[in-house]
Structure 1
Amino acid sequence: MNSLLSPIEIQRPASLEFGAGLVGAVGRWAAARGIARSLVIATGPTAARAALLGLPGEVVVFGDVKPEPDIPNLEEALALAERVRPELVVGFGGGSAMDLAKLVAVLPGTGQSIHDVVGPEKVLGRKVALVQVPTTSGTGSEAGTRALVTDPATRNKLAVQSRHMMADLAVVDPDLTVTVPPAVTAATGVDALAHCAEAFTSRRAHPLIDLYAIEGIRLVGRYLTRAVADGEDREARAGLSLASLYGGFCLGPVNTTAGHAVAYPLGTRHHIAHGLACAVIFPHTLAYNAPAVPEKTALVLEALGAPASADPRAVAEITLDFCRELGIEMRLSRLGVPEDDLPAMATEAHAIRRLLDNNPRDISESEILALYRAAY
């Protein structure tokens, strides 16, 4: 854990607007800068709503973003960007759309491929404007400098981090999330929770980020059940949008830990949506880490509105119940994961050192396998 004397760098979008009904701010921002040609990167359902952005001039929409985007999906978007030559790229959707938008904004015309920029600060620069507009409350990608895509050849997620991928403008309009179905609301909400809880209990945790992390957890505890029960509860939607944003603030300087590392193979191998994968794994990794960070684990449960505890069994039971009551299917066996694939998944997860090295407690490959079996 870092102390108040530990140095930390915080990066944020140059401008961030938060509030119901603000989506039109994107068009006003673009018009004020004389932008005449834009490329919107969106998922299929969201692509049909691109007119809400109010963009001026020529607007081209790439609406084929996959739930777990891979290199071929990225290459399709990059090919369109090469033809369109936009002055502005807009990520409009969940984390997948916003991650692709970051890469589409920085790669065309540079001679760099996705493999050239994997890792921290390898992107050469950016010549176009970048705006991010989330339509779900989960990843907080609008506030960060990372993008992830899956390499089909290795089944690994490639992580790119660059200050050049930070948005010029992020517009967080909670009203855009009212149409998100209950199951997606639940899973993405637990993803936001996992971002905050993992950052809060990380070896790299910092008091400056703890502030966002614990408040993000409180917001999920207060509003997620309400939003699942009534998607048009605008206050609950706003609370979750803020929780997601705070989770995004946690990712840059601290990042996630074992929870996300263990969740990744569920998406890359079995195409389970990222939010759902993180939700299924979250109780098990929080409980595993409890002995290493007992005080902070107890605070996580309190922030969720549950009794404070650092006992691993109680932690697992309380958080499993929280997720089940949201209607989330918490058994890997019911999500189409073959039991004989668990050892290979454990091997892949154990190799994700960029996240596991942040974990507050060392975890072996056999212990990861035990977590999968507990979730099975």
Structure 2
Amino acid sequence: MNTPRNITIHQPSRLEVGANTVTQVGDWVGNKRALVITTSPVANHVSRLGLKGPFTTFEDTPPEPNELALRTILDLAESIKPEVIIGLGGGSVMDLAKLAAVLWNKNQTLEEVVGLNKVHQKLSTLIQIPTTAGTGSESGIRALVTNSQTSAKMAVESEHMRADIAILDPTLTYSVPSTVTAATGVDAMAHCVEAFTNIRAHNMIDDYARMGMKLIGQYLKRAVANGEDTEAREGMMLASYYGGICLGPVNTAAGHALAYPLSTQLHLPHGLANAIIFPHVLAFNADAKPEKTAEILAALGLPQSHDPSNVLQAAYAFCIDLGIEMKISKHGANTEVLLQYAEEAYNIKRLMNNNPKEMSIKDILAIYKAAF
């Protein structure tokens, strides 16, 4: 049992799960003014929403959201005063949709709301529609934005950013490439695992993590092998959602801290960065959380072991079998910058302090070298 403590879990007011549920959005929105925040690769799905009233679509969301993109969206939203904001896309889209829904009147700036519970009010109804299965952003109340000058992550958390409606429609993920499906799936796994092994772990959140890990072990390979396997795609969307719940009262730990420099410096997608780091941090923490590590491996259908080298070998092979390129040297990194990455990761204390085992800069550098 984990040490008892008080927690609060925020979830969407309404959750719709199933194939083609996205087509109901127009009925819920009615004739209200809407702003749809999305990205060009999935903008074709806007037509499936069935919007009946006036709406504006923003498609220029960057892979890693920054304050410049948010500023552009807020200017657009201020001009149209949307009654409804719809986030249709991955975690970047949904995080920007959360912030737009509470900031577009510009009574507060982004800098004023960074932190916990600093947002004054929600300005628009918020509908979140993920088109990938990885971040679980639709389930929670936290948004991350990268500072374009410093590459630092700015985290905003507020109950006012809770989705009024979240839709998990597996048909929206049919077209996601297998490599992206694999990486985002491992990212969802990392959310569950890092919360599960966290020093702030909670018994209730542990059970959400277990459900997510079991679904990933059951369905991720199937979703990678056949993008239109509706059962597998829905299973992965549920796993991602459960991982998102884990982020709220517990959050991630060293794995995500080590992944962030790969996103900010190498510009790797968030899911891929976390997939690359996942086996290494799982192995590093194995002797600190041996029983839970065994559960994690069992959920993935891997041989159970408490030995870090065996854990690394098994988890690394799992990712390789999914088709993920696990060497950061193949993604543009060079050995000269690894120490810089290690120092950056080490200083993300809001996550590093959650890790079940203390990790020094030397430890982090060793992981980056092993991943090189």
TM-score, normalised to structure 1's length?
0.97
Shift of 1:19: 1.1
Q: Could you tell me how far apart the structure 2 residues matched to 1:116 and 1:302 are?
A: 44
Residue 144 (structure 2) aligns with: 148
How far did residue 141 of structure 1 move? 0.4
Give, in angstroms, the shift of residue 195 of structure 1.
Answer: 0.4
- Alpha-carbon distance in 2 for matches of 1:48, 1:63: 10
- Of 118, 125, 130, which aligns to 1:122? 118
Cross-structure match for 2:78:
82
Contact 2:104 2:123 in 1 (8 A): no
Q: Alignment partner of 2:365: what SS? A: helix
Distance 2:334 2:75 in 1: 36
Offset at residue 218 of structure 1 (A): 1.1
Cα distance in 1 between the residues matched to 2:57 and 2:144: 21
**Correspondent of 2:104 among 91, 101, 108:** 108
Deviation readout 1:163-203 (Å, 9 max, x if unpaired): 11010110111111111010110000000000001111001
**Paired AA for residue 2 in structure 2:** N
Percent pairwise identity? 55
Distance in 2, Cα, partners of 1:135 & 1:160: 22
* 2:293 paired residue number: 297
In 2, Cα distance between equivalents of 1:59 and 1:138: 27
CA offset digits 1:100-154 (Å, max 9, x no partner): 0001111111422211111111111112110100010000000000111110211
SS of 1:374's equivalent in the other structure is: helix
Q: Deviation per CA, 1:328-359: give whole Å up to 9, x if none.
A: 00001001112211111111111111111111
Residue in 1 that maps onto 2:47: 51
Residue 332 in structure 1 maps to residue 328 in structure 2: yes
Gaps of 5+ in 1: none
For 1:345, the equivalent position in structure 2 comes to 341
Aligned to 1:197: 193
What corresponds to 1:323 in structure 2? 319
Could you tell me how far 1:48 is from its partner in structure 2?
2.4
What residue number does 1:19 align with?
Answer: 18
> Structure 2: which 5+ runs fail to align?
none
Mapped to 2, the partners of 1:69 and 1:113 lie a distance apart of 16
Please state whether the residue corresponding to 2:82 is helix, strand or coil.
coil
Give the aligned partner of residue 87 of structure 2.
91
1:9 matched to which residue of 2? 8
Counterpart contact for 1:26–1:171, Cα < 8 Å? no
1:285 has 2:281 as partner: yes
**Counterpart code for 2:149:** A
Q: SS of the counterpart of 1:50? A: helix
**Which residue type is aligned with residue 19 of structure 1?**
G
Other-structure match for 2:222: 226
Corresponding letter in the other structure for 1:14: S
Who is 1:264 aligned against? 260
CA distance in 2, matches of 1:246, 1:67: 23
CA distance in 2, matches of 1:46, 1:113: 29
Aligned residues of 2:37 and 2:88 also touching (Cα < 8 A): yes
- The number of aligned residues is 372
Q: Partners in 1 of 2:88 and 2:232 — Cα distance?
A: 21
Amino acid at match of 1:363: M
Moved more, 91-100 or 43-52: 43-52
Q: Counterpart in 1 of 2:207?
A: 211
Contact 2:202 2:250 in 1 (8 A): yes
Taking the aligned partners of 2:172 and 2:105, their CA distance within structure 1 comes to: 33
Paired residue secondary structure (1:295) = helix
TM-superposed CA distance for 1:6, in Å, is 2.1
2:25 aligned partner, one-letter code: V
What is the CA-CA distance between 1:307 and the residue it aligns to?
1.4
Q: For the residues of structure 2 that align with 1:300 and 1:162, how far apart are their CA atoms?
A: 31
CA distance in 2, matches of 1:220, 1:18: 17
User: Could you tell me whether the CA contact under 8 Å between 2:222 and 2:232 is conserved in 1?
Assistant: yes
State which of 347, 352, 357 in structure 2 corresponds to 1:361. 357
Letter in 1 for 2:234: A
Amino acid paired to 1:18: V
- Distance in 2 (CA, whole Å) between partners of 1:119 and 1:368 is 26
What secondary structure, in the 3-state scheme, does the structure 2 residue paired with 1:278 have? helix
Residue 177 of structure 1 corresponds to 173
For residues 23 and 228 of structure 2, the distance between their equivalents in structure 1, rounded to whole angstroms, comes to 20
Contact 2:168–2:234 at 8 Å: present in 1 too?
no
Q: Distance in 2 between matches of 1:288 and 1:27?
A: 48
Name the CA distance, whole Å, in 1 between partners of 2:58 and 2:78: 12
Residue pairs, 1:134-145, within 5 angstroms: 134-145=130-141
